[in-house]
Amino acid sequence: MKPQKLLIETMSAGGAGLAPTADGRVAVSYTLPGETVMAMVDGERGALQGVIKPSLARIAPFCPQFTICGGCAIQHWQAEDYEAWKHGLVVQALQANGIKAEVAALVDGHGTGRRRVTFHARFARDPHGRMRATLGFMRHRTHDIIAIEACPLLDAGLAGALSAARALVEPLAAVGKPVDVHVTATLDGMDIDLRGTGAVPEAVRQALMRIAQDHDLARLSQHGVLLIERRRPRLQIGPALVTPPAGAFLQATELGESVLAGLVTSAIKREAPVADLFAGIGTFALRIATRASVHAYEMDQAALAAGESGAHTTQGLRDMRFVHRDLFRNPLMPHELKAYEAVVIDPPRAGALEQMREIAAAQVPLVVSVSCNLATFARDAKILIAAGYVCEGVTPVDQFRHSAHIELVGVFRKAPAAKKRARPMLG
């Protein structure tokens, strides 16, 4: 490695500044376009040593752990430029794939903060030979854990999360294995799932349950197995109250979920049968069911059961069915999809290539695609467009503020078939 003076020209898709050098571009985290910096260069990456000439758009970060904790990529860029960069990432990804679509302005999805967080705990012996835990987040670009005292991105419902997590990992020192503490804020208090410990002695189990009571947790689980439930941890999903499985996937913020769901439901204007694929706990399906019949398909049986239970206790929903199905191994086929007027699909980051091909082949009139991955969203959009769909628009949602992550909602409608011109009659 060697120190170099660099001029940052652009921002990468990951939120690092990019500088040209004789050996190729170098990515330097925590820099901005137009800045002159000193960096210790190692191949394609540079570690920032100092900013010689700062950008006029540089602002002071609000968190003392910024550049140490690996959670945030950008706190040092003024909002207008940051938002333009994120919007530009979507435009560039679509253009690079030959997709012509109007990209709406970036919508804020952060709201009051993130309602779920994972703390990592790692154990080591102190000078006296006792096992001590370091609890916090991973250091930037490493798996090392840095202890934190607070995270300003978290919702107020997680105000006691750190103290509860610290208390819970103490009795786990006897086990000594790395622990992940998954905390979710719910209407009824914090819901915590401990992972990585494996089986623990009964004395440790009893200690964990006492700590759950001391910190007024709604529920405490270990690897998804219930230890103690003092109150059912519920979430408001549209008109329904749903108790999610321990450690279930949820949209990161309440506002982000509301924005995404609003974009999805506003695209479905008719009372038509809808298929919601990768439905989870019913994030979209329970809202769609207020205006249209919907079948929710999901491979996680616990998530499916949670959504179904919420639906059964909610008044005013139209015909709603929950179907257990692994859409990766067994995608819905065209003859099944033809029963629906609209499909909503929200797959994991890797997308659902085979399922999207079947949707395109079925020529479902309306497809609403929700994604957290620009690359797979663009790939799937190309499949639909090649099959005759028109992209009516793409809306980026900034749910993970201060990071490079973007949520997307794209609306695709089957273009009407061109009318055949009548052949002139010969007299």
Same domain for 257 and 404? yes
Same domain for 213 and 266? no
Instruction: Report CA torsion sign: 113, 117, 120, 121.
Output: positive
Residue 103 has pLDDT above 80, yes or no: yes
Active site residue 63: no
Domain ends where: 17, 42, 58? 58
Q: For residue 423, count CB atoms less than 10 angstroms from its CB and return exposed for 0-12, middle for 13-18, buried for 19 or more.
A: exposed
Please answer whether residues 283 and 344 qualify as being in contact, where contact means their C-beta atoms are separated by less than 8 angstroms.
no
In a domain, 63, yes or no: no
Mean pLDDT of 217-230: 97
- pLDDT-derived band of residue 114, with 50, 70 and 90 as boundaries? very high
Q: What is the CATH number of the domain that holds 196?
A: 2.40.50.1070
Same domain for 47 and 98? no
In a domain, 420, yes or no: no
Domain ends where: 171, 206, 235? 235
- pLDDT-derived band of residue 130, with 50, 70 and 90 as boundaries? confident
Same domain for 192 and 152? yes
Average pLDDT value for the chain: 95
Please answer whether residues 3 and 39 qualify as being in contact, where contact means their C-beta atoms are separated by less than 8 angstroms.
yes
Q: In the prediction, which pLDDT does 417 show? A: 65
In a domain, 293, yes or no: yes
In a domain, 66, yes or no: no
Q: What is the CATH number of the domain that holds 338?
A: 3.40.50.150
Same domain for 346 and 407? yes
Q: How far apart are CA 320 and CA 272, in angstroms?
A: 12
Q: How far apart are CA 343 and CA 376, in angstroms?
A: 17
Q: In the prediction, which pLDDT does 264 show? A: 98
Q: Cα(first)–Cα(last) distance of the chain, in Å? A: 86
Residue 75 has pLDDT above 80, yes or no: yes
Q: How far apart are CA 121 and CA 105, in angstroms?
A: 39
- For 110, 252, 264, 311, the CA distances from 287, given in Å and listed in that order, are 21, 18, 9, 10
- The more confidently predicted of residues 11 and 126 is 11
Q: In the prediction, which pLDDT does 415 show? A: 81
Same domain for 257 and 129? no
In a domain, 241, yes or no: no
Q: In the prediction, which pLDDT does 389 show? A: 97
Pick the catalytic residue from 63, 69, 72, 372: 372
Q: What is the CATH number of the domain that holds 18?
A: 2.40.50.140
b/e sequence 182-201, b meaning 16+ C-beta within 10 Å: bbbbbebbbbbbbbbbeebe
In a domain, 259, yes or no: yes
Domain ends where: 211, 235, 259? 235
Domain count, the chain: 3
Q: For residue 170, what are the domain limits?
A: 116-235
Share of the chain above pLDDT 70, in %: 97
Same domain for 289 and 333? yes
DSSP calls for 249-283? ---SSHHHHHHHHHHHHHH--S---EEEES-TTTT
Q: How far apart are CA 204 and CA 176, in angstroms?
A: 12
> What contacts 6, CB < 8 A, 6 or more positions away?
19, 21, 26, 28, 36, 37, 38, 39, 41, 46
Same domain for 150 and 274? no
Same domain for 278 and 133? no
Whole-prediction pTM value?
0.94
Please answer whether residues 37 and 6 qualify as being in contact, where contact means their C-beta atoms are separated by less than 8 angstroms.
yes
Residue 252: closest CA among 135, 141, 136, 112: 112
DSSP calls for 80-108? HHHHHHHHHHHHHHHHHTT----BPPPEE
Instruction: Dump pLDDT digits (tens) for 246-301.
Output: 999 999 999 999 999 999 999 997 778 999 999 999 999 999 999 999 999 999 99
- pLDDT-derived band of residue 1, with 50, 70 and 90 as boundaries? confident
> What contacts 295, CB < 8 A, 6 or more positions away?
273, 274, 275, 276, 320, 321, 322, 323, 340
Strand 45-53 with 107-108, pairing: unpaired
Q: For residue 286, count CB atoms less than 10 angstroms from its CB and return exposed for 0-12, middle for 13-18, buried for 19 or more.
A: buried
Name the DSSP class of 156. Answer: G
In a domain, 8, yes or no: yes
Same domain for 106 and 205? no
In a domain, 375, yes or no: yes
Q: In the prediction, which pLDDT does 427 show? A: 38
Same domain for 96 and 123? no
Instruction: Dump pLDDT digits (tens) for 294-315.
Output: 999 999 999 999 999 999 999 9
Same domain for 405 and 289? yes
Q: How far apart are CA 218 and CA 145, in angstroms?
A: 27
